[in-house]
Amino acid sequence: MASLREGLMLQKGCVVSLVGAGGKTSLMFRLAREISAAGETVLTTTTTKIFAPSPDQSPGMIIAGSITSIFDQANHLLNKHRHITAVASRLPDGDKLIGYPPEFIQELWNTRLFRWIIVEADGAAAR
């Protein structure tokens, strides 16, 4: 059976944006688990909001609003984990995490700290 990565024809590192109704979060973490198990670095994030991941979904977690802060924290976490989730902040109720605008994700990609960035993206939230 082909891996999810092979099925999606993802051969080299890139930014992968997941859109559509239902299943984006599960797909994001499953793909990240597969990629990190192959020894590659992967960041998961969102352009909207997600529930905080469990340690099984994402072993490393960063809440930071700047590229510099993410870079510094990720350099430390990548010594232990190949997969990290980063978000800008936590909602006051504590259940959901707020992600980054697409331009910020592009800047993060430009650092080349991660071979892969997988984004739960949803254009409908921007309306």
Q: Is the pLDDT of residue 125 over 60?
A: no
Q: How far apart are CA 19 and CA 78, in angstroms?
A: 27
Residue 109, H or E segment: helix 102-110
CA 25 to each of CA 48, 51, 122: distance values in angstroms, whole numbers, following the listed order:
11, 9, 11
In this prediction, residues 37-53 reach a mean pLDDT of 96
Q: Which of 18-22, 35-39, 115-119 has the lowest mean pLDDT?
A: 18-22
Separation of CA 2 from chain center: 23
Q: What is the pLDDT of residues 60-77, one digit of tens each?
A: 999 999 999 999 999 999
Residue 38 is given by DSSP the state T
pLDDT digits (tens, 9 = 90+) for 80-109: 999 999 999 999 987 899 999 999 999 999
Does 6 or 31 have the greater pLDDT score? 31
Instruction: Please tell me the predicted confidence (pLDDT) of residue 41.
Output: 97
Residue 95 φ/ψ region, left for φ over 0, alpha for ψ in the -120 to 50 degree band, beta for the rest: alpha
pLDDT-derived band at 123 (thresholds 50, 70, 90) equals low
By the 8 A CB rule, do 70 and 62 touch?
yes
Q: Whole-angstrom Cα distance, residue 24 to residue 20? A: 7
State the first-to-last Cα distance of the chain, in angstroms, to the nearest integer: 40
* Beta-strand relationship, 96-98 and 49-51: antiparallel
